[in-house]
Structure formats: C-alpha cells, structure tokens
Amino acid sequence: MKKIIVFVMLISATVFLVQHHVPLAQAEETGSVHSITLPTIPSELKEGAGKDKVMIFCAICHSPDYIPMQPRLSAKTWDNEVHKMIKVFGAPINEEDAKTISSYLAAQYGTGEK
C-alpha cells in the first residue's frame, strides 16, 4: 500500500511540475533568468616545475585542492594516477605534459620513492 501511495505522489508531483514549468524562452522574456558568478578560490599548491601544467590540466575536472589531500605517493603511483586520469576519465593531456605533471606531483607530494 505504501508503494502505491508513494507512486501516486511521484506521479502527481511530476504532473504538477510539468504543468507549472515555465519554458526558458518565456523566462528570458520576463527577465526571470538570473546568473551568478562564483568566487575564484586560489589553490595553495607548492611551487615547483610543472605547477602550471597541474593548474591548467588537473583543474579542468577537479579542484587542485584535492592533490595535497592525497597521501604521499611514490613517483610510479603518481604516474599511474595521471595516466588513469587520461585513460579512464578522458583528461586531454599529451604524454609530454603527463610526464611534467607526474614529475611535479612526485617531487612536491611524493614519498621520494621511484
């Protein structure tokens, strides 16, 4: 019985939302479309060769603030992480930049192990 009530409520809510939906064109005409500008929060990554590439490429998908949150990783593990971002998540990074990024991460946030 509860499932039927929940189902009916969902259908009713959907019908209500569809009936009271204001098309985007109409919203633009009435001036009810608003935009916001989010603040830019600078990342506090360590200085080093390759930081610029990290800021350019890594920030496409996630905040660079995630980098210092990671445990210290070996150079090989950082390299694997960078290549995972490329192969699995589609990060648009060429091999030369990937090496620069991996080197930076290993130097600044690594264990010192290869």
Please write the tens of the pLDDT for every residue from 53-98.
Answer: 999 999 899 988 889 999 999 999 999 999 999 999 999 999 999 9
DSSP character at residue 112 = S
CATH topology of domain 51-109: Cytochrome Bc1 Complex; Chain D, domain 2 (1.10.760)
What's the pTM? 0.63
Among candidate residues 45, 56, 41, the one with its CA nearest the CA of residue 100:
56
**Alpha-helical runs (H) found in 1-114:** 2-19, 24-30, 51-57, 66-69, 75-87, 95-109
Q: Give Rg (Cα) of the chain.
A: 23
Among candidate residues 101, 90, 83, the one with its CA nearest the CA of residue 61:
90
Q: Each residue of 32-49: pLDDT tens digit?
A: 667 788 776 666 899 999
At 12, give phi and psi (nearest 5°).
-65, -45
